[in-house]
C-alpha cells in the first residue's frame, strides 16, 4: 500500500508527463476531496488517534484555565474540538478560526451554532456527524462567551507575506498576527489540524503561532496534526523543541472504487486525485491516467473491498512557547550539542536503528560528565519537554522528531572491580566493550548475542547464550548511578563501587523499587549513567550448527521442531543452550530449519569433544554444517544470521524490525504449525524467526523479584522482518513490519498469559505495540505503572517502552486499628457492606496476611488455618508477633512494604480499601506520602474490656500514644446499627458530589511559582462563583469534632483568613487571626515560622515571625485552626506553637484544611515536634509536589 505522499508524487509526475495544464482547485473541488479523506478509515484516524491524543495533550492546559481562548487554522467544515469530551469543550470561552475556504467557513458557522441536531449540511458532514452528536443536548462549544469568530481568510506567515510582497522587510505588526487584523490578540491554544499542507516552511507557521500565544502563563499550546510518514514540522528548520509528540503509523485513507469505471467511481477518483495532487486539470487523458495511478498504488483491503486504501501515517506535535527559546538555554548550560542544519538531521554517529535514523531530533546532546546529564534533565523539567536517551542506538525509540536526545556515548569506561567480582560499565558502553574488558580479567558478563548493542539491552532484559547458566543481563545488575528525571539529582542505587560514585550522589529514597525496576524495565525511570554488573568466569564455547531443509513443510517442520525441543533443548544442562532458526532457503520458496548448539565451559577447560547432545542432533538432523571453538568475543560471530543464513549478514546491506514473544512447547502442533506457517508467509525472502533458548537460571528468579516478569518460557521467538536497505520506506519495508506484527498477534494467543509473554525491549508508541505491552512485564505491570508516576512524574522519558497504566489508587484508604478483640475485622466488614450498598466498590484486607504467609513458610504452620481458623490464629498469636518483630528488626521498612503491597494489589476499581491489622504508631503520618493521591484515614476501634472478645481478663494492647487517630469508633453497642451509622456519618460523605465539585474548582497552574512546579490554586476556590459558600459549608459538615466545644476559630494569613473567617461566621464562633509579626497591636504572642511550601519555592528560604493578640483566645479554650493548605506543615507548626504559648495545648486543638499535599509529609513534621495528638482533617487530597 503506497502512502499518500507517494501517491502525490506519482500523480504530479504523471501530470508533468502529459504536460497538462494545471488549474487550482476550486473551493467546491477542495471540499469534495477533503470530504473523501475524512470518511471511512480516514475517520478512524480521528477516532483512534486525533481526538484522544488532542484530549490528552490539552487536559493539563484546560485544567489550569477557567476559560480557554482558541485560534484554529483551517478547521474545515467542522472543528475537531467539537468532538472532545464535554468537560474540555465546556472550557472553551472564545473560538476564532481562519478558514480560507468560504464554503467551509459558512458550514463551520452553522455547525457550531447548531445544537444537538446533527443535521447534515454537506456531504462532508455525513461522516463526521455519525459520532457522538446524536445524544447531545447542547451545542458543540457550549460555553462560548461570544459568538464564534470565523474569518474567511488564510493564515499568513512572514515568509508568505515576504514572498507575496516581493519584499524583504522585517516583521511588522501585521506579520505577527498570522492574518488577523487585531494584532494584539493572544490565545491559549492555536490548533492546526491538517492545515499545514502547502505551508513552507512549516516551522515558520509554528513560530508565528507561538508568538500568538498568551505571554503568561507560558503553558499555552500550539498543536499540529499532520499526515506524513515522518517528522512533518521540524523537517525544514531546526531548533523547535516539541512539548509532546505522538505518531499513528497505521493511519489510512480510502477512496470508493468498485473498479467498474462507473461514473460515481470516476468522479470520486478524480476528486481524490486532484485533492492529493494539489491541483486539477481539464484534460481527460491526464485524469484517466491519474485514475490508473490510484488503482496501481492503492490497495483493496478485506475491510474495504470496494475502495482503494492508502497509507496515511499521522503525527501530532505540540509546542509551548519554550519551543523556540529552550534550545539556546541548553547550549548555554555547557552541554555539547549537535544540531541539524537546514534540512540536515543532526549527526547520528551512534544510532544504528533505521526507524530512529530517519527521525529528526531537534538536537543531540552529548554530555561528557554526570553534570551534563543533570543539566539536560533539569532543562527538560524546566521547559516541560521530554528527552530520549541514546545507548547503543539499536532501538527505534532513541530518537524522536522534535525531541532532544541525550547521547551517552561519552560514558564509555568499563572497569573490573575484583571484589565481587563486578564489572562497572558506563551507560555508553556496548556489549562488546563490556565483554572485552571483562575478558582481560578472566571474566565475562551474561549479555546479548551482538557486540554493538548498548545499555538498552541490559536495562530491558538481555537474552544471550549465557542466560541459561547465569541469568539475564538485567539479573546481573547489582547497582547503578542514575540521574533522576523527577529532580535532576544523581542517585546511588544498590551497590556502587566508591570510585564510581559521582560527587554529590544521594541515596535514592525508593532505592529498592528503582533497583527492582532497572532489572527489566530500566529505560523508564531515570537516565542511567553507569551500572555495576555481577561477573562470572570467562567462558569458551563449542558451537555446532546444522541446517536442514523442511520438505513437507508443516509435518516435517513440526516433527523436527518436536525432536529438537524434546530430545535436545529440554534435556540440555544449564551450561549449554541451543537456538533454532526458521527461514527461507536461498531461492524458491523452500524453508530451512537451522539449529545451533552452544556448549560452554570455563575458559581453558576443553570438554567439548563428543557431546552426547550433538550426537542426538546429528542423528536427527544429519552431520553438522560447522563446528567452532570460540571465546566470549568470538561467540558473537557465530550467530547463524551473521555467519550462514541468507549468505551471512542477510547477504548484504539490510534493515530489520523485530518483536519477540516467549514460547513453550515449540514442537507441539499449534505452535510448531504457526511458526512454520509464519515463515511461509514472509513478505520478503529475508524475514526469519530466531528461537533463543531459555529456561535454566532465567527461571530460577521469581517472576516478581525483578521487573522482567516473564520467566517461565523455553524459547524467546524473535520475529524478524528484514528487507534490503535500499528499500527502506517502501512498500516492502512496510510489509515486513506488518508481517512481524501479524505473526506476533497469531503467536500470542498460543501462549499462556500466566507464564509466557512478550519481551519489552523495543516496544514503543506504535498502537500495534499496545497489546504486546500488556503482556510484557508479567505480574509486574501494575507496580511499574505506579513507579513511573512517582519516579518520572513529568514524563520526561515519554518515549521509552510504554508501561501499563496503573489502576487508580483507591480514593480512600481506611486503616482500621484498635486493640486485640475490639472488633476491627467485624467493623471493617460492616463498613464494606455500607459502602457497597451506596454503589461504591469497597473491600477489606488484613495486613497481617503477608506476615502469616511468611510465618507459615518459615515454620511449616498451615497457612489456610492461620488465615481462617480463629483458634489456630489465637494459638499462634504470640509466636506470630515475635516472628513479625524479628522481621521488622531486620527489615525496618517491612510494615510499609506490606501496606504498599496491599494497596497495589487492590483491584483497579476499588474506591475504598479498608486495611485491618496495622501495628504502626501514627500510620497516617508515616504512610500518607506513599499514597499521595488517596485520602488516608485511621479509624481506631475502641471497646470496653467487657465487650472485647477476650472477655474481662483481656488486657488492652494500648500504650499511651503520641498521636491521635483521625476518627474513633466506640464499639460497645450490640448489633450492626451503630457500626453502620458511623460509616454513614464519616465514610460515605467522602464521596459526596459536593466534595468532587470542590476538587474540580482547584486549577493546576504549571510552572508556578517556579518552572517545573505545578501549582494547585486552592485559594482560587474563593474566587469562583459559589466556591467560598460551598467550601465553608463542607468545612462545617465534615468537621469530625463537636461544634459545641469549639470556642475559637483561628486563621493564619493569607489563605486561612479567607476560609476561617467565612466558617467562623457560618458557625457563629469567635475568630482569631494570626498575622506576620509587626502587623498586630501589642500585646501579642509571637513565634518563628519557617517558610511554607510555596513561599520557599517562590522566594529564598526565609524565616519570619508570626503573632496573635494575647487576649483573643481564652486560656485552655478549644480551638479549631482552619487553613487552605497543609503541605510541608511549617505554617501549621508555627500556629500550633503560637497556640501553645497562648496556653492552648495540643489536646485542645483540631485542624481543618481545605487541601492536603501528603507528598510533603506535613503530618510527620507536626508529630516530630510533639503535635501528633492534634486532630488534622482535610477536604481534598492532591498528589504531586
Ligand atoms: C541487531 C540486534 C541484535 C540484538 N540482539 C539482542 C540479544 O542478543 N539479546 C537481547 O536481549 N536483545 C537483543 N536485541 C534487542 C536489544 O536489546 C534492544 O534493541 C535494545 O533496546 C537496544 O539497546 P541499545 O542501547 O542498543 O539501543 P538504544 O536505542 O540506544 O536504547 C534502547 C532504549 O533504551 C533507552 N536507553 C538507552 N540507554 C539508556 C540509559 N543510559 N538510561 C536510560 N535509558 C536508556 C533508550 O532511550 C531506548 O528507549 C538486539 C537488537 C538488535 C537490533
Q: What is the pLDDT of residues 507-521, one digit of tens each?
A: 988 899 999 999 999
**Which three three-digit cell numbers place residue 840?**
461504591
Q: In whole angstroms, what is the distance from residue 77 CA to residue 548 CA?
A: 62
pLDDT at 1075 > cutoff 70 = yes
Tell me, what's the pLDDT at 235?
Answer: 52
CA of 451 to the centre of ligand 1 (A): 11
Q: Is 391 in the pocket of ligand 1 (CB under 6 A)?
A: yes
Chain-centroid distance of CA 7 in Å reads 36
Q: Is 408 in the pocket of ligand 1 (CB under 6 A)?
A: yes
Minimum-distance ligand 1 atom for the alpha carbon of 448: 8
pLDDT at 343 > cutoff 60 = no
Tell me, what's the pLDDT at 19?
Answer: 75
Contact by Cβ (8 Å): 767, 250: yes
**Which three three-digit cell numbers place residue 1014?**
505545578
Say which DSSP state 1062 is in.
H
Smallest CA-to-CA distance from 608 within 576, 582, 635 is with 576
**Which residue CA neighbors atom 51 of ligand 1 most closely?**
394
pTM over 0.75: yes
CA of 456 to the centre of ligand 1 (A): 3
Each residue's pLDDT tens digit, 491-547: 999 999 999 999 999 998 889 999 999 999 999 999 999 999 999 999 999 999 999
**Mutation pick for ligand 1 pocket among 348, 364, 389 (CB with most ligand atoms within 8 Å):** 389
Smallest CA-to-CA distance from 1104 within 1076, 1145, 1085 is with 1076
Each residue's pLDDT tens digit, 95-144: 999 999 999 999 999 999 876 444 433 434 443 433 333 344 578 999 99
How much of the chain exceeds pLDDT 90, in percent?
Answer: 59
**DSSP, residue by residue, 898-934:** HHHHHHHTS-TT-SEEEEE----SSHHHHHGGGSTTS
Please report how the helices 553-563 and 612-621 are oriented relative to each other, as an axis angle in degrees rounded to 10: 170
Each residue's pLDDT tens digit, 447-467: 988 899 999 999 999 999 999
Say which DSSP state 1127 is in.
S
Smallest CA-to-CA distance from 191 within 89, 102, 69, 37 is with 69
Q: In whole angstroms, what is the distance from residue 208 CA to residue 202 CA?
A: 10
CB atoms within 10 A of CB 885: 10
Torsion 229-233-238-240 (CA) sign: negative
**Which residue CA neighbors atom 38 of ligand 1 most closely?**
391
Q: In whole angstroms, what is the distance from residue 446 CA to residue 465 CA?
A: 8
Minimum-distance ligand 1 atom for the alpha carbon of 356: 29
CB atoms within 10 A of CB 883: 17
Chain-centroid distance of CA 963 in Å reads 38
Confidence of residue 175 (pLDDT cuts 50, 70, 90): very low
Each residue's pLDDT tens digit, 1117-1163: 999 999 999 999 999 999 999 999 999 999 999 999 999 999 889 99
The neighbouring-strand residues paired with 597 are 544, 578
pLDDT at 72 > cutoff 90 = yes
Q: In whole angstroms, what is the distance from residue 405 CA to residue 390 CA?
A: 7
> 541539524: which residue's cell?
340
Q: Is 450 in the pocket of ligand 1 (CB under 6 A)?
A: yes
C-alpha neighbours within 13 Å on the C-beta side of residue 1130 = 17
Cα-Cα-Cα-Cα torsion 452, 453, 458, 461, nearest 10 degrees, comes to -130
Report, as an integer, the average pLDDT of 469-475. Answer: 97
Report, as an integer, the average pLDDT of 1030-1054. Answer: 95
pLDDT at 582 > cutoff 60 = yes
Confidence of residue 171 (pLDDT cuts 50, 70, 90): very low
Q: Is 1087 in the pocket of ligand 1 (CB under 6 A)?
A: no
Minimum-distance ligand 1 atom for the alpha carbon of 395: 29
Whole-number average pLDDT of the chain: 87
Residues 6+ apart with CB under 8 A from 305: none
Tell me, what's the pLDDT at 651?
Answer: 67
Q: In whole angstroms, what is the distance from residue 920 CA to residue 892 CA?
A: 11
Tell me, what's the pLDDT at 103?
Answer: 95
**Which residue CA neighbors atom 28 of ligand 1 most closely?**
393
CA distances from 447 to 392, 434, 453, 890 (A): 13, 9, 9, 34
Q: ∠ CA 182-185-191 to the nearest 5 degrees?
A: 115
Each residue's pLDDT tens digit, 384-423: 899 999 999 999 999 998 899 999 999 999 999 987 799 9
Confidence of residue 952 (pLDDT cuts 50, 70, 90): very low
Torsion 461-462-467-472 (CA) sign: negative
Tell me, what's the pLDDT at 478?
Answer: 97
Tell me, what's the pLDDT at 176?
Answer: 46
Tell me, what's the pLDDT at 1097?
Answer: 57
The neighbouring-strand residues paired with 913 are 813, 843
Contact by Cβ (8 Å): 530, 424: yes
Report, as an integer, the average pLDDT of 904-913. Answer: 79
CA of 175 to the centre of ligand 1 (A): 46
Tell me, what's the pLDDT at 119?
Answer: 41
Report, as an integer, the average pLDDT of 263-268. Answer: 89
HEC sequence for 675-740: HHHHHHCCCCCCCEEEEEECCCHHHHCCCCCCCCCCCCCCEEEEEEEEEEHHHCCCHHHHHHHHHH
Contact by Cβ (8 Å): 566, 590: no
Q: Is 693 in the pocket of ligand 1 (CB under 6 A)?
A: no
Tell me, what's the pLDDT at 543?
Answer: 94
pLDDT at 1012 > cutoff 70 = no
CA of 462 to the centre of ligand 1 (A): 9
Report, as an integer, the average pLDDT of 13-18. Answer: 88
CA of 507 to the centre of ligand 1 (A): 27
Amino acid at each position: 500500500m503506497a502512502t499518500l505522499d507517494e501517491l502525490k508524487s506519482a500523480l504530479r509526475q504523471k501530470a508533468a508527463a502529459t504536460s497538462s495544464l494545471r488549474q487550482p482547485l476550486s473551493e467546491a473541488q477542495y471540499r469534495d476531496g477533503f470530504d473523501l479523506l475524512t470518511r471511512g478509515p480516514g475517520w478512524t484516524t480521528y477516532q483512534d488517534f486525533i481526538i484522544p491524543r488532542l484530549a490528552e495533550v490539552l487536559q493539563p492546559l484546560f485544567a489550569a484555565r477557567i476559560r480557554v481562548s482558541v485560534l484554529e487554522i483551517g478547521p474545515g467544515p467542522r472543528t475537531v474540538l467539537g468532538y472532545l469530551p464535554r468537560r474540555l469543550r465546556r472550557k472553551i470561552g472564545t473560538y476564532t478560526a481562519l478558514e480560507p475556504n468560504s464554503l467551509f467557513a459558512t458550514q463551520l458557522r452553522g455547525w457550531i451554532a447548531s445544537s444537538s441536531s446533527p443535521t447534515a449540511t454537506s456531504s462532508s458532514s455525513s461522516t463526521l456527524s455519525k459520532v457522538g452528536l446524536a445524544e447531545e443536548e447542547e451545542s458543540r462549544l457550549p460555553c462560548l462567551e461570544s459568538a464564534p469568530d470565523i474569518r474567511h481568510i488564510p493564515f499568513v506567515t512572514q515568509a508568505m507575506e515576504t514572498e507575496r510582497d516581493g519584499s524583504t522587510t522585517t516583521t511588522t505588526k501585521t506579520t505577527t498576527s498570522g492574518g488577523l487584523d487585531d494584532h494584539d490578540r493572544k490565545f491559549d491554544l492555536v490548533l492546526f489540524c491538517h492545515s499545514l499542507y502547502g505551508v513552507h516552511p512549516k516551522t515558520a507557521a509554528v513560530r508565528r503561532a507561538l508568538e500568538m500565544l498568551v505571554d503568561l502563563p507560558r503553558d499555552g499550546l500550539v498543536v499540529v496534526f499532520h499526515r506524513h510518514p515522518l517528522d512533518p514540522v521540524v523537517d525544514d528548520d531546526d531548533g523547535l523543541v516539541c512539548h509532546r509528540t505522538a505518531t499513528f503509523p497505521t493511519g489510512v485513507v480510502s477512496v470508493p472504487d468498485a473498479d467498474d469505471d462507473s461514473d460515481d467511481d470516476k468522479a470520486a477518483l478524480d476528486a481524490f486525485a486532484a485533492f492529493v495532487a494539489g491541483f486539477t486539470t481539464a484534460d481527460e487523458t491526464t485524469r484517466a491516467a491519474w485514475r490508473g495511478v490510484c488503482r496501481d498504488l492503492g490497495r483493496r483491503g478485506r475491510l474495504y473491498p470496494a475502495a482503494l486504501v492508502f497509507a496515511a501515517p499521522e503525527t501530532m506535535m505540540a509546542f509551548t512557547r519554550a519551543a523556540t527559546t529552550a534550545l539556546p538555554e541548553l547550549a548555554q548550560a555547557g552541554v555539547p550539542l549537535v544540531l541539524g542544519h537546514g534540512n540536515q538531521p543532526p549527526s547520528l554517529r551512534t544510532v544504528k536503528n533505521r526507524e530512529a535514523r530517519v527521525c529528526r531530533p531537534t538536537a543531540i546532546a552529548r554530555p561528557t560528565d554526570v553534570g551534563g546529564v543533570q543539566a539536560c534533565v533539569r532543562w527538560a523539567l524546566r521547559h516541560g519537554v521530554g528527552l530520549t536517551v541514546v545507548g547503543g542506538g539499536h532501538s527505534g525509540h532513541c530518537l524522536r522528531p522534535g525531541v532532544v536526545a541525550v547521547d551517552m556515548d561519552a560514558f564509555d569506561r568499563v572497569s573490573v572491580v575484583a571484589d565481587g567480582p563486578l564489572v562497572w560499565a558506563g551507560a555508553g558502553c556496548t556489549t562488546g566493550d563490556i565483554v572485552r574488558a571483562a575478558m582481560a580479567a578472566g571474566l565475562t558478563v551474561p549479555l546479548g548475542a551482538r557486540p554493538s548493542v548498548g545499555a538498552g539491552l541490559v536495562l530491558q532484559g538481555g537474552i544471550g547464550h549465557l542466560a541459561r547458566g547465569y541469568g539475564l543481563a538485567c539479573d546481573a545488575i547489582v547497582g547503578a548511578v542514575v540521574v533522576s528525571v523527577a529532580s535532576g539529582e544523581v542517585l546511588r542505587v544498590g551497590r556502587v563501587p566508591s570510585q564510581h560514585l559521582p560527587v554529590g550522589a544521594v541515596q535514592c529514597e525508593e532505592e529498592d523499587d528503582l533497583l527492582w525496576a532497572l532489572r527489566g524495565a530500566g529505560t523508564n525511570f531515570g537516565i542511567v549513567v553507569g551500572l555495576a554488573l555481577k561477573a562470572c568466569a570467562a567462558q569458551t564455547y563449542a558451537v555446532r550448527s546444522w541446517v536442514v531443509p523442511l520438505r513437507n513443510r508443516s509435518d516435517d517442520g513440526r516433527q523436527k521442531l518436536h525432536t529438537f525441543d524434546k530430545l535436545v533443548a529440554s534435556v540440555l544442562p544449564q551450561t549449554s543452550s541451543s537456538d533454532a532458526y526458521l527461514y527461507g532457503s536461498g531461492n524458491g520458496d523452500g524453508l530451512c530449519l537451522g539449529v545451533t548448539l552452544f556448549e560452554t565451559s570455563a575458559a581453558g577447560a576443553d570438554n567439548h569433544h563428543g557431546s552426547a547432545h550433538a550426537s542426538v542432533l546429528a542423528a536427527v538432523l544429519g552431520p553438522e554444517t560447522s563446528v567452532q571453538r570460540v571465546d566470549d568475543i568470538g561467540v558473537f560471530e557465530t550467530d547463524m544470521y551473521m555467519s550462514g543464513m541468507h549468505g551471512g549478514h542477510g547477504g548484504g546491506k539490510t534493515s530489520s524490525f523485530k518483536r519477540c514473544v516467549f514460547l513453550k512447547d515449540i514442537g507441539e502442533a499449534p505452535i510448531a504449525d504457526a511458526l512454520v506457517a509464519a515463515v511461509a508467509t514472509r513478505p520478503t525472502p529475508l524475514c526469519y524467526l530466531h528461537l533463543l533458548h531459555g529456561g535454566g537460571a532465567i527461571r530460577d528468579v521469581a517472576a516478581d523479584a525483578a521487573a522482567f516478569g516473564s520467566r517461565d518460557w523455553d524459547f524467546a521467538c524473535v520475529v524478524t522482518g528484514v528487507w534490503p536497505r535500499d528499500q527502506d520506506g517502501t512498500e516492502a519495508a512496510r510489509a515486513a513490519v506488518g508481517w512481524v506484527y501479524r505473526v506476533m498477534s497469531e503467536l500470542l494467543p498460543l501462549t499462556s498469559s500466566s507464564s509466557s509473554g512478550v519481551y519489552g525491549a523495543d516496544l514503543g508508541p506504535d498502537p500495534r505495540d499496545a497489546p504486546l505491552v500488556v503482556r510484557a512485564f508479567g505480574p509486574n505491570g501494575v507496580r511499574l505503572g505506579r513507579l513511573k508516576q512517582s519516579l518520572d512524574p513529568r514524563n520526561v522519558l515519554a518515549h521509552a517502552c510504554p508501561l501499563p497504566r496503573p489502576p487508580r489508587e483507591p480514593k480512600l484508604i481506611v486503616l482500621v486499628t484498635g486493640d486485640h478483640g475490639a472488633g476491627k475485622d467485624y467493623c471493617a466488614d460492616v463498613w464494606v457492606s455500607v459502602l457497597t450498598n451506596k454503589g461504591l466498590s469497597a473491600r477489606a484486607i488484613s495486613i497481617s496476611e503477608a506476615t502469616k504467609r511468611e510465618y507459615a513458610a518459615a515454620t511449616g504452620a498451615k497457612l489456610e488455618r492461620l488465615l481462617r481458623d480463629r483458634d489456630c490464629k489465637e494459638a499462634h498469636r504470640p509466636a506470630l508477633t515475635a516472628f513479625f518483630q524479628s522481621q521488622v528488626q531486620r527489615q525496618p521498612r517491612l510494615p510499609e512494604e506490606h501496606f504498599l503491597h496491599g494497596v497495589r494489589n487492590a483491584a483497579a476499581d476499588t474506591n475504598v480499601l479498608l486495611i485491618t491489622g496495622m501495628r504502626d504508631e501514627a500510620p497516617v503520618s508515616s504512610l500518607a506520602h506513599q499514597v499521595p493521591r488517596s485520602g488516608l484515614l485511621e479509624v481506631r476501634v475502641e471497646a470496653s474490656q467487657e465487650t472485647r472478645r477476650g472477655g474481662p481478663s483481656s488486657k488492652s494492647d494500648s500504650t499511651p500514644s503520641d498521636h491521635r487517630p483521625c476518627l474513633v469508633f466506640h464499639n460497645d453497642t450490640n448489633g450492626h446499627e451503630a457500626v453502620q451509622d458511623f460509616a454513614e456519618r464519616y465514610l460515605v460523605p467522602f464521596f459526596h458530589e459536593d466534595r468532587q465539585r470542590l476538587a474540580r474548582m482547584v486549577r493546576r497552574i504549571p510552572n508556578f511559582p517556579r518552572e517545573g512546579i505545578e501549582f494547585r490554586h486552592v485559594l482560587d476556590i474563593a474566587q469562583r462563583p459559589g466556591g467560598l459558600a460551598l467550601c465553608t459549608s463542607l468545612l462545617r459538615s465534615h468537621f469530625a469534632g463537636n461544634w459545641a466545644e469549639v470556642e475559637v476559630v483561628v486563621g493564619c494569613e493569607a489563605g486561612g483568613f479567607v476560609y476561617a473567617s467565612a466558617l467562623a461566621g457560618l458557625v457563629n464562633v469567635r475568630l482569631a487571626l494570626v498575622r506576620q509579626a509587626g502587623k498586630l497591636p501589642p500585646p501579642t504572642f509571637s513565634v518563628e515560622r519557617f517558610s511554607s511550601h510555596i513561599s520557599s519555592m517562590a522566594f529564598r528560604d526565609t524565616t519570619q515571625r508570626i503573632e496573635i493578640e494575647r487576649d483573643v483566645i481564652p486560656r485552655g479554650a478549644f480551638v479549631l485552626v482552619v487553613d487552605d493548605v497543609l503541605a510541608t506543615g511549617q505554617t501549621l507548626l508555627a500556629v500550633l506553637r503560637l497556640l501553645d504559648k497562648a496556653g492552648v495545648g495540643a489536646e485542645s486543638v483540631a485542624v481543618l484544611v481545605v487541601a492536603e499535599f501528603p507528598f510533603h509529609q506535613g503530618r510527620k513534621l507536626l508529630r516530630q515536634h510533639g503535635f501528633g495528638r492534634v486532630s488534622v482533617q482535610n477536604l481534598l487530597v492532591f498528589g504531586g509536589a
